[in-house]
Structure 1
Amino acid sequence: MKAAVVAAAAAVLAGGASAHSHRHAHKALFQKRSLNDTEVCVPTCTTIYSTIYGEETWIQPPPKSTEAPVPVPVITTTPEPEPVVVPTTTTTEPAIVPTPIPQICPTPGTYTFPATTIVVTETTTVCAASTTEVPSGTHTLGGVTTVVETATEIVCPYATTEVENGVVTSVIKTTTFVCPSAGTYTIAPITTVVPSVTTVVVPVVTTYCPGTYTAPAVVTTITETNVVVYCPFTSSEIPAPTPQAVTPKPQAAPEPAPAPAPAPEKPKAVAPPPASTPAKGKGSVGGGKLGGKGKHWAMTYTPFRPDGHCKTYSEVDADVKIIASKNFEALRIYSTDCDTLPNVGAAAEKYGLRLIIGLFVGSPGCDNGNPTIAQQISALKEWKKWHLVDLCVVGNEALFNGYCSVQQLADLIVHTKKELGSAGYTGPYTTTDVLSAFEAGDMSPVCNVIDVVSANVHAYFNYQTTPGQAGKFVRSQLDAVSKICGGKPSYCMETGWPTSGVCNGAACAGVPQQKEAIASIEQEIGQSVVFFSFRDDPWKNPGACNCERSWGSDKAFGY
């Protein structure tokens, strides 16, 4: 059985661009934090639990027939400290929420799936599930990781499981977590023991905001037998009484890959006034002082080991040395965790590489008061090696994931400019998202406060694009986002091709396909893109495309 994933997309290769849903969004960056069990609350912390029981929500393999089998999850247990009050339990009816709809295609042919709409009338939190493959042994997974700068009390939901009479039920618990001092605390991870390599199902908290969610009508051609197609809900439209994002805010659920749909009408380009430090040169792809001298400008880099734990400085140094040896000129980093600034910064300076720094915006949202954002800004101000920095990227697909509204993101960029400017940074700013997020509405608030416009473009998620057409596809997308922001210079902050995963129409994953795609991108637009990624990421959830772990470019670049 093979699984395919279908979402709304527009596919135009030459003379236009495609709006596409994106599998990645770097939720995995915070998923990694949920797998990191090196720092947990000290024994003097106190937890107070309340519980909400929900329906069983395990992810299961695609069915081998039209009858879905009963899922058999890996049974896990959660060690819990003794509560200081008697826990309260509330049983709730299963909520109707916009989770992807599985459709079974038993034979080859053309299938039409009608549009489906679900209205969520109030903010709904449910237990979803995430999967991760682990080797034999004892593993600590899941939980909620938070960083506090002082003694504080945190109230947050987390997902776990309970077993009664052999029945495993997903559970959302709310805990009041009292931490006595500054530090990083992981709340209620799950411990599981497996005898061999096993795909473990981990419950996660997923929250949907009020709105109208639509799974667009999809027509797709299936060439194999017994294919399961997942039609995800990709939009949410509801008048918001306050400037809050109204798209769903999943915390760790696997993301779908896109497939064809009619192209939405593109908003008119807005000609914004110049930002504080405008890049030189005329619009479209590249221009100004950014970009590479040759075919290799930059590579994404996250300092995580295959198990999701942080690399040491010597490991980071060895990685950066390899990247520099392949004639890359810069590294893109996403956040400040895992000692990224001191370790990656020192290695970059040692081997003559520049940095594209990042401010990661996740599920807590885009508000300037978000403690995670404040912590990252504080770390950057303390580090302040601006002589290494070419560009600051505020947010990675924060609009697409519903973490920010356009105005909230613009306000955050202005706030970041003020904070980093006070510490001496005078370089350019941008944010990066997928084209569909840029086309979803009026982007002028963001366009007005960035110096260059950036997008994440992965041609693999356009069903019409072969590996050899990847470069032209990336260029077409960057041309489109440049026009939306009045002709500002455009750059790609992520592009690449996976070495394993399901076929998405003409876009198939594989080692030779990756080499062909990267060669196409190098030839067409290599001086203006950041390649994704340095190594495979085994700690990530494989995702519906079964490709999330396999974007490492070592085979294509020969290191």
Structure 2
Amino acid sequence: MKATIVAAAAAVLAGGASAHGNHRHAHRALFEKRGAVKAERDVCVPSCTTIYSTIYGEPTWVQPPPKPVTPTAEPVVEVPTTTEAPVVAVPTATAPPTVPEPITEICPTPGTYTFPAKTIVVTETTTVCGATSTEVPAGTHTLGGVTTVVETATTVVCPVATTETQNGVVTSVIKTTTYVCPSAGTYTIAPITTVVPSVTTVVVPVVTTYCPGTYTAPALTTTVTETNYVVVCPFTSSEAPALAQPTSAPQEAPEAAPQEAPKETPQAPVPAGLGAKNGDLWAMTYTPFRTDGTCKSKQEVDEDVAKIKGAGFEALRIYSTDCDTLPNVGGAARDNGLRLIIGIFIGQKGCDNGNPTVAAQISALKAWKQWDLVDLCVVGNEALFNQFCSVGELAALISHTKSELGSVGYNGPFSTTDVMAAYQNNDVSSICSLIDVLTINAHAYFNYETTPDKAGDFVKGQIDIAAEICGKPAYCMETGWPTAGVCNGVACPGVEAQRTALASIRQVVGPKVTFFSFHDDNWKEPGACGCERSWGSSSCFGA
């Protein structure tokens, strides 16, 4: 499922914003000074390029209010005879949706829930109003709309989603708008401006189109540890419609029988070399960039890496191969007795070897091939969440990378890393079959209910859930706490807050996490949270 969550816009907008809202940590911009571009979609006249504005939130805990369903029976709760969480049979709606909108369900109490599979058929292209939500700080915000870049004076015709208010009732509508761009430039068509007095979850309508096909929401069994937790069951697949006659009414496929929740998730052996060996500090992320985004010299890298080693870390996580990362950071790691977690970074749409930046990174790793330093190869950083790759495309790239690096002697473990929602909202079984461990990026600051002293418990909970997704060991490739920015509920940034949060993480799950990051990234934009530059944590470790 896409990172922005589609829901019944009228219900969402009329019902208010009661869902948890959070921004995510914006690593999409990690290499933006090196040519990353936004995803584009052409919907206007041929002389312009249209980019749909997307509001990013972390859907693990950013969800629109669930659509009301009429249960066929009351939930059946088995009274546990041990300390295990209860198994709850979840009722389904009495009628299928007319379009494959993600199905939202409330899990009222902690326990293991099973949601049956659902299949629907769409016989003709259907465009509806969906919705996306994001948490914004106090102030005036312009959201949504369609942003269009034109190279000359152009008349643009675009579908836009907007809202109308009649008799106090807010509904969302799709309108075809003709907009005259008087000269070259960037124009945002039909955005919505809202003023909020405090931190608020704002819901914005979006245009959502479903093509003809058969859509399936797979059966899902999940264990939740929170009350009133919202689970989204997305329709993740489509194919040519099975109906030969377009005039036939769509028929709902029979529901699959509910699956029993497994009592225990089988765990594969942990690959040798992963995790801290001599204490509670395993890895630190490191990017060899100065505050202005230019590349650090070899001497500057040597000084940084020596400090990381002196702080007690055993490994470095690097994201890509640019800025002479492999010879400089790799050389400093060898000199200081540190291991490496290497990566293939995907910063734009194009999740295959045809993407020149991907091909260049694979070639650089093959030429470098100092595998005795490498603990793990991570293909992609939040590539699913950012919609740079589909599941199939990412699986194909992992397979290709394994083949290419294997041809020059690398036989160590592989993984990909993403936020939890990207795994939960997609069928990632094809990826699970290719990787040795599953890794996540988990930042407790973006959960507005988590105080710094509980950050370790939060990250551990995310790792535990990740271990169930593929039935393989799970680790965290990014976790930290910002020193500056706005408060996100009870999660407030600050120097002391960072010290408290990182101490909690280190105590609870230190040997399995990579801390983010060694230094502040002042070349980044501050972001809506005002925090994106301020994750440097070297002082917390005496570095």
Residue pair 1:295, 1:526 contacting (<8 A) in 2 also: yes
What residue number does 1:231 align with?
Answer: 202
Matched, 1:496 2:511: no
Secondary structure at the residue paired with 1:263? strand
Residue pair 2:450, 2:491 contacting (<8 A) in 1 also: yes
| Number of equivalent positions | 378
234 and 437 in structure 1: CA distance in 2 versus 1, 3 angstrom threshold:
farther
Q: Distance in 2 between matches of 1:497 and 1:370?
A: 33
Cα deviation 1:208-249 (Å, max 9, x = unaligned): xxxxxxxxxxxxxxxxx932636366999765789xxxxxxx
473 and 66 in structure 1: CA distance in 2 versus 1, 3 angstrom threshold:
closer
Structure 2: stretches of 5+ with no match in the other structure: 6-18, 37-45, 56-135, 143-150, 164-168, 190-195, 214-226, 235-258
What residue number does 1:280 align with?
Answer: 269
Secondary structure at the residue paired with 1:454? strand
Q: Distance in 2 between matches of 1:359 and 1:292?
A: 23
| 1:174-253 to 2 correspondences below 5 Å | 226-227=197-198, 229=200, 231=202
What residue number does 1:518 align with?
Answer: 502
Residue pair 1:297, 1:528 contacting (<8 A) in 2 also: yes
What residue number does 1:137 align with?
Answer: none
What residue number does 1:263 align with?
Answer: 230
Larger radius of gyration: 2
Residue pair 1:498, 1:550 contacting (<8 A) in 2 also: yes
What residue number does 2:515 align with?
Answer: 531
Identity %: 55
Q: Distance in 2 between matches of 1:331 and 1:426?
A: 19
Q: Distance in 2 between matches of 1:465 and 1:115?
A: 33
Q: Distance in 2 between matches of 1:235 and 1:526?
A: 41
Q: Distance in 2 between matches of 1:522 and 1:296?
A: 7
Q: Aligned AA for 1:92?
A: V
What residue number does 1:473 align with?
Answer: 458
Q: Aligned AA for 2:269?
A: K
Q: Distance in 2 between matches of 1:440 and 1:230?
A: 21
Q: 1:324 aligns with which of 309, 327, 344?
A: 309
Q: C-alpha root-mean-square deviation of aligned residues, in Å?
A: 4.3
What residue number does 1:336 align with?
Answer: 321
Measured after TM superposition, the shift of residue 553 of structure 1 is: 0.1
Residue pair 1:54, 1:92 contacting (<8 A) in 2 also: no
Measured after TM superposition, the shift of residue 343 of structure 1 is: 0.8
Measured after TM superposition, the shift of residue 51 of structure 1 is: 6.4
Q: If the length of structure 2 is used for normalisation, what is the TM-score?
A: 0.61
* Larger RCO, structures 1/2 (Cα 8 Å, 6+ apart): 1
Cα deviation 1:22-59 (Å, max 9, x = unaligned): 62252122323259xxxxxxxxxxxxxx964999x9x9
Secondary structure at the residue paired with 1:324? helix
What residue number does 1:30 align with?
Answer: 31
Q: Distance in 2 between matches of 1:116 and 1:392?
A: 48
Q: Distance in 2 between matches of 1:306 and 1:377?
A: 27
Matched, 1:387 2:388: no
Residue pair 1:21, 1:436 contacting (<8 A) in 2 also: no
Q: Aligned AA for 1:309?
A: T
Measured after TM superposition, the shift of residue 295 of structure 1 is: 1.1
Structure 1: stretches of 5+ with no match in the other structure: 1-6, 9-17, 36-49, 69-86, 102-113, 127-161, 173-202, 207-224, 243-259, 282-286
Measured after TM superposition, the shift of residue 554 of structure 1 is: 2.2
What residue number does 1:3 align with?
Answer: none
Measured after TM superposition, the shift of residue 120 of structure 1 is: 11
Residue pair 2:161, 2:206 contacting (<8 A) in 1 also: no
Q: Which runs of 4+ in 1 moved over 6 A?
A: 18-21, 62-68, 114-121, 232-237, 266-271
Residue pair 1:380, 1:420 contacting (<8 A) in 2 also: yes
Measured after TM superposition, the shift of residue 452 of structure 1 is: 0.3
97 and 265 in structure 1: CA distance in 2 versus 1, 3 angstrom threshold:
closer
Q: Distance in 2 between matches of 1:228 and 1:384?
A: 48
What residue number does 2:186 align with?
Answer: 171
Q: Distance in 2 between matches of 1:465 and 1:337?
A: 36
330 and 34 in structure 1: CA distance in 2 versus 1, 3 angstrom threshold:
same
Measured after TM superposition, the shift of residue 540 of structure 1 is: 0.4
67 and 544 in structure 1: CA distance in 2 versus 1, 3 angstrom threshold:
closer
Q: Distance in 2 between matches of 1:289 and 1:362?
A: 28
Q: If the length of structure 1 is used for normalisation, what is the TM-score?
A: 0.59
Q: Aligned AA for 2:448?
A: Y
Residue pair 1:540, 1:549 contacting (<8 A) in 2 also: yes
Q: Distance in 1 between matches of 2:170 and 2:511?
A: 41
Q: Distance in 2 between matches of 1:235 and 1:262?
A: 25
